Structure 1
Amino acid sequence: MQLIITDAWLAKSRAIHLSGTKLVLAALLASLTLILLAAGVYHYVFLKGAREGWPVVGNLLRVVVKDEFAQRDRFMRENLDALARKLGEMQAKLRQLESLGERVSGLAGVNPLEIKAQTGQGGALVSGHSLSMDELQTTLDDLARLTDQRTDLLTVLESRLFEQKIRNMMVPTQPPVITATVGSAFGWRLDPLTGRTALHTGLDFPAISGTPIVAAAGGVVVTQEFHPEYGNMIEIDHGNDLISRYAHASKVLVKKGDLIRRGQKIAEVGTTGRSTGAHLHFEVLVMGIPQDPQKFLAAGQNLATPQLAKLMAAAPARPSRPENRLAGQR
């Protein structure tokens, strides 16, 4: 491409030869110059018009800003509505959790009315109208507070239920000989050796020699000895002045000071001591006074914790002397 440049009187002229590469570069330079010039003019006119309030520029600016704010508000509203729906679902689940807590509280021995008085009810209700940001934040704060209260409540219920479980595990309600039936019951009877009336202070479980004897409840072995009347004897302390006794064993598998779990094998049935045949003599003593073990075993079958509490409360207030509580008939 060739350009010829002349002056006004055509006295002088100059020819410029442009190759393909130079022509492209020249076009790009011209385009860039026009773009920068247009941007500068637009920037100057638009900003100056916005600052000075030119009618056309001001209206155009308001339309652009209004449309941008409308899109932003619409986006925020959609997100707030979605959060509000999720919040409503969380509140419904929280109320279900509250109902479950009330039912469990009955099992733990806690009055549900006291729970409501301590923790309060409900919270901010998400109704049909759209929530504002402040309302949503308030509702979230209420939900967090109620969640903390329900957490505290369930912690208390867990503690109560755990205490009940431990207490039940420490009460001799499990039969000490699983497969045997009761032979001689607790109470007055004719002594099998003397033929005279005497108090039988426990239950007799006739069984084959070597039959496993298990602990009726968890506790600590406080006595493991050979007694002239009880023979090989074990006593387990379950706490709260409650002791179980196992007598006439042929073989003892624990020693004094051992920690015993409920149902653990501790000995084998025998006929040592004052005995007429192979059997287990099983006693339950509360504050040193023999109680009817059958009541404890029956309470364990019925899972009646209040009944166990009544059995404990009915025991004599003053313990007997050790030598007296070992003088009963076997």
Structure 2
Amino acid sequence: MHLIITDARLARSRAIHLSGTRLILAGLLLSLCLMLVAVTLYHWVFLKGAREGWPIVGSLVRLVVKDEFAERDRFMRANLDAMARRVGEMQARMVQLESLGDRVLGLAGMAPADVQKSDGRGGVLVSARNLSMEELQSTLDELERLTNQRVDLMTVLESRLFDQHIRKKMIPTHAPVTGRVPGSAFGWRVDPITGQSALHTGLDFQADTGTPILAAAGGVVVTQEYHPAYGNMIEVDHGNQLVTRYAHASRTLVKQGDIVRRGQKIAEVGTTGRSTGPHLHFEVLVQGVFQDPQKFLSAGGTAAGAQVAAIQPHASPGQPAIPAAGR
């Protein structure tokens, strides 16, 4: 396209050549300018009409604003209803959690009265009516408070149950020699070497040389030595001044300072020291005082404990305690 531009007196002229690309760019530029002008006028007219209360423009603005608020209100109401349903489900789960917490409290040996309850009514209640934003926020805050309280409770329960678990593992209730019938039990008997009455301070397990000796509970090895009476001997400290002793071993597998777990192999049966044959002499001491190992094994439900209970002799209360190792 060629455009010729002349002045009023036709004294000068100028020719402009427009190609297809230039025409397209010029059209786009013109369209953009028209759109900007239209948007500016529309915005200016509606704002001015809304502020000054022009009849037609004011009605249109109120209509648009009303529809916008109605749509926003429907959207918020739908979301509030959905949130209220979710809060109701959370409330039901909180009630179940409180019931579960009470049962676990019983297992942990704690009375429900020892733990602060919410208000005795099972927590917050979400009704079926439409909730306002303030009511919903208040309900959520209450649920958060109850949740934090339950978390604290479960933390206490976890600590109590873990403590009970550890204490149970530290009590010598595991049979030190499995699958064997105990020989001499704890109590007064005729010493097989001297032929005199003496207190047998432990429990004997008859077994072949090399039979594994197991730790009756977890603890720390405090003694691993050769004793003239006990032979190769191991003592394990379980805390609270509770010690177990394993005597007459042919071979010891742990040393002083080692940490052993419940049921771990720590030695092998033998006949070292003051012994008349291969066996394990097993003792339990509390605050340095000899205790009947059968009581501990019976508490653990072991077969050895049950078998010893049937043959356990009763010491006379008037007789002095004279330690006598060996069979």
TM-score w.r.t. structure 1 length? 0.77
Distance 1:281 1:50, change over 3 A: same
Unaligned runs of 5+ in 2: 1-19, 303-319
Paired amino acid for 2:145: R
Structure with more relative contact order (C-alpha pairs < 8 Å, separation 6 or more)? 2
Distance 1:186 1:118, change over 3 A: farther
User: What corresponds to 1:81 in structure 2?
Assistant: 81
| Cα deviations by residue, 1:275-299 (Å, 9 ceiling, x for unpaired) | 2211111010111111111110111
TM-align CA RMSD: 3.1
Q: CA deviation at 1:152?
A: 1.2
User: What corresponds to 1:151 in structure 2?
Assistant: 151
| Cα deviations by residue, 1:223-258 (Å, 9 ceiling, x for unpaired) | 222222211111111111111011111111112222
Q: CA deviation at 1:91?
A: 2.3
Paired amino acid for 1:126: V
Q: CA deviation at 1:123?
A: 3.4
Once residues 241 and 290 of structure 1 are traced to their aligned partners in structure 2, the CA distance between those partners, rounded to angstroms, is: 12
> 1:17-28 residue pairs with structure 2 within 5 A?
none
| Cα deviations by residue, 1:203-231 (Å, 9 ceiling, x for unpaired) | 11111111000110111112222222211
User: What corresponds to 2:178 in structure 1?
Assistant: 178
Paired amino acid for 1:268: E
Q: Percent identity?
A: 68
Q: CA deviation at 1:153?
A: 1.1
Paired amino acid for 1:141: D
Once residues 28 and 263 of structure 1 are traced to their aligned partners in structure 2, the CA distance between those partners, rounded to angstroms, is: 88
Once residues 237 and 118 of structure 1 are traced to their aligned partners in structure 2, the CA distance between those partners, rounded to angstroms, is: 44
Paired amino acid for 1:71: E
Once residues 241 and 37 of structure 1 are traced to their aligned partners in structure 2, the CA distance between those partners, rounded to angstroms, is: 94
User: What corresponds to 2:137 in structure 1?
Assistant: 137
Distance 1:118 1:160, change over 3 A: farther
Distance 1:211 1:64, change over 3 A: same
- Does residue 212 of the first structure (1) align with residue 207 of the second (2)? no
Distance 1:42 1:243, change over 3 A: closer
SS at match of 2:209: coil
Between stretches 243-252 and 61-70, larger displacement belongs to 61-70
Q: CA deviation at 1:96?
A: 2.1
Q: Assess if the C-alpha contact under 8 Å between 1:202 and 1:282 holds in 2.
A: yes
Q: CA deviation at 1:42?
A: 5.7
Distance 1:200 1:51, change over 3 A: same
User: What corresponds to 1:312 in structure 2?
Assistant: none
SS at match of 2:152: helix
Aligned residues: 291
Paired amino acid for 1:147: T
- Does residue 300 of the first structure (1) align with residue 296 of the second (2)? no
Q: CA deviation at 1:55?
A: 3.8
Paired amino acid for 1:274: R
User: What corresponds to 2:274 in structure 1?
Assistant: 274
SS at match of 1:65: helix
Once residues 119 and 262 of structure 2 are traced to their aligned partners in structure 1, the CA distance between those partners, rounded to angstroms, is: 37
Q: CA deviation at 1:119?
A: 8.7
User: What corresponds to 1:319 in structure 2?
Assistant: none
SS at match of 2:78: helix
